[in-house]
Amino acid sequence: MNAFAYRDGHYYAEDVAIQQIADAVGTPFYCYSRAVIEARYDAFADALRGFNALICYAVKANSNQALITLLAARGAGADVVSEGEMRRALAAGIPASKIVYSGVAKTVREIEFALQQDIRQFNVESEQELETISAAAVRLNRTARVAFRINPNVDAGTHEKISTGKSDNKFGIAIDTATAAYDKARKLPGVEVCGVDLHIGSQIMNLQPFAAAFTRIAELTQELKDAGHTISTIDLGGGLGINYDPQNDKAPSAADYARIASETVGHLNCDIIVEPGRSLVGNAGVLVSQVIYTKTNGTSKFLIVDAAMNDFLRPSMYNAYHSIVVGRQTDAEEELYDVVGPVCETADTFARKRQLPRQEAGDLVIIEGTGAYGSAMASTYNTRPLIPEVLVDGDEFRVIRRRPDYDSMIALDIPWDAAD
């Protein structure tokens, strides 16, 4: 579903005009649709109905408590990559029995915290990590349920900075050495082998890489079972892409994804874990900003808005395309704008040569598809406060993260004299 649309020439989120929210909270801000998030989760749940499946939301996509709580109420688990994300998931009501812990550099402290919570599964990324988990489990008199994250050496066909399943990526253990790793795990105290795991990348728009990776994992799973290992769970990871450009993108559906899973691993009689993040929340959010100035330098016309790269990093970091629309439709002549922010970096650019109706100071500009990896990657660069987040539910909206004031930001610093 698309909850963001024009009505009588004004941009709406569900049944609330974006201008109304801007007047109440100020710009810039993130706005999320509850209806979209719940519809996306339900689409995955329906598609995976033929499996004994657990949908673990990838918290790194957007870690706001309100969104995690919505998904927890729907039955979601959580895929986390740090102690902080684990604490957020637990605080939002996700039980430890539905939490899987991924990440290449789990520290001893983080491992001990996860063991104390008795989480469902560690997705182990190296033999050194396995040994650390074993030692911590013995110290705490706990049992760690583990699955090795397998690197299947599959090119996901996505941006090189979000590819995770190739042999030269830092993630997982090589599929060729997996059997030896499982043999080692079987001998270590405090460890219970329960499954296999993979994740080949993010924003994947073609099902073929999934099919190739899942097929390799299915073959490995059968080999491990034949060797006497108990493999009860296959964690297929996440990575399903979304449509950032409505005119040109065509992302696979959750049903398409589930069909590939059924064809490749469905015969193995294993529980299935999937870890969607972007595909649940990406198109559920927009970034709303206000035009500060317009100017022309040479042949370039600049639309300077009050949102910046510190608020939304993806265009600067990945050259990511996001559709940009205006808050109010008009008959004004269209212009080709470079849409830029106020940060002192040329990289602080959201789009180049984007055709939009002529804009003036005070007009609203909306960057769509920002529900994932927007607020989660934000910073306070240039001492710019983190921006508010708002959740819309029908004709109501609520601030789910406040904008901090400058005094509270600066108070985090300890002057040299005060440190003495």
Tens digits of residue pLDDT in 358-387: 999 999 999 999 999 999 999 999 999 999
pLDDT, one tens digit per residue, over 313-324 is 999 999 999 999
Residue 65: name the closest of 45, 88, 38, 96 by CA: 88
In this predicted structure, the answer to whether residue 248 has a pLDDT above a threshold of 80 is yes
Q: Please, which pLDDT band fits residue 201 given cuts at 50, 70 and 90?
A: confident
Name the β-bridge partners of 32. 285, 391
Which residue intervals of the chain bear CATH 2.40.37.10? 4-31+283-410
Tokens 């997705």 locate to 123
- pLDDT tens for 129-151 read 999 999 999 999 999 999 999 98
Report residue 157's pLDDT band, with 50, 70 and 90 as the boundaries: low
Active site residue 56: no
Report the percentage of the chain scoring pLDDT > 70.
95
Per-residue confidence band for 246, with pLDDT thresholds at 50, 70 and 90: confident
Tell me the CATH number of domain 103-274, given options 3.40.50.720, 1.10.150.650, 3.20.20.10, 3.40.50.410.
Answer: 3.20.20.10
CB 351 within 8 A of CB 362: no
Give the global pTM. Answer: 0.94
Instruction: Name the active-site residue from 31, 194, 270, 344.
Output: 344
Per-residue pLDDT, 420: 58
Give the three-state DSSP class for 78.
strand
pLDDT > 90? residue 12: yes
pLDDT at 174: 87
Rounded to a whole number, what is the distance in angstroms from the first to the last CA of the chain? 57
Residue-level pLDDT at 171: 67
CATH 3.20.20.10 intervals, the chain: 103-274
Q: What is the mean pLDDT of the chain?
A: 93
Over residues 265-274, the mean pLDDT reads 96
Mean pLDDT across the stretch 263-282? 96
- Model confidence pLDDT, tens digit, residues 45-87: 999 999 999 999 999 999 999 999 999 999 999 999 999 999 9
Give the burial string for 349-369 (b: 16+ CB within 10 Å, else e).
Answer: bbbeebebbebeeebbbbbbb
pLDDT (mean) for 333-349: 96
Who has greater pLDDT, 103 or 157? 103
CATH number for 4-31+283-410 (one of 2.30.30.60, 1.10.3720.10, 1.10.8.10, 2.40.37.10): it is: 2.40.37.10
214-247 burial code (b ≥16 CB/10 A, e <16) = bbbbbebbeebeeeebebebbbbbbbbbbbbeee
The answer to whether residue 160 scores a pLDDT higher than 60 is no
